[in-house]
């Protein structure tokens, strides 16, 4: 659960929060490979591609423009 939450935080561009989640997951199980890998991504400063572009970055729902019929069309 902590690793999943960390991945979501990483997707959103919140590396420090993601790292905290991965560390807690590794504290609980130091051999958990997915948490190790994800922590490695954050530790090395690797960002999700969409987090590097303001246009493509995660935007909380309350800041998004309305869409037509859920088709992603403004």
**CA–centroid distance for 32 within its chain:** 18
**14-73, pLDDT tens digit by residue?**
888 999 999 999 999 999 999 999 999 888 888 776 666 666 666 666 666 655 555 555
Q: Which residue has the higher pLDDT, 62 or 6?
A: 6
pLDDT at site 61 = 66
pTM above 0.75, yes or no: no
Q: Which residue has the higher pLDDT, 62 or 2?
A: 2
pLDDT at site 50 = 66
What is the rounded distance in angstroms from the CA atom of residue 18 to the CA atom of residue 43? 10
pLDDT at site 30 = 96
């Amino acid at each position: 659960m902590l690793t999943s939450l960390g991945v979501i935080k990483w997707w959103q561009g919140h590396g420090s929060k993601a790292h905290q989640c991965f560390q807690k997951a590794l504290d609980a199980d130091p051999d958990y490979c997915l948490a190790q890998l994800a922590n490695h991504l954050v530790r090395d400063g690797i960002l999700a591609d969409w987090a590097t572009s303001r246009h493509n970055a995660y935007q909380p729902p309350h800041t998004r423009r309305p869409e037509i019929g859920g088709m992603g069309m403004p």
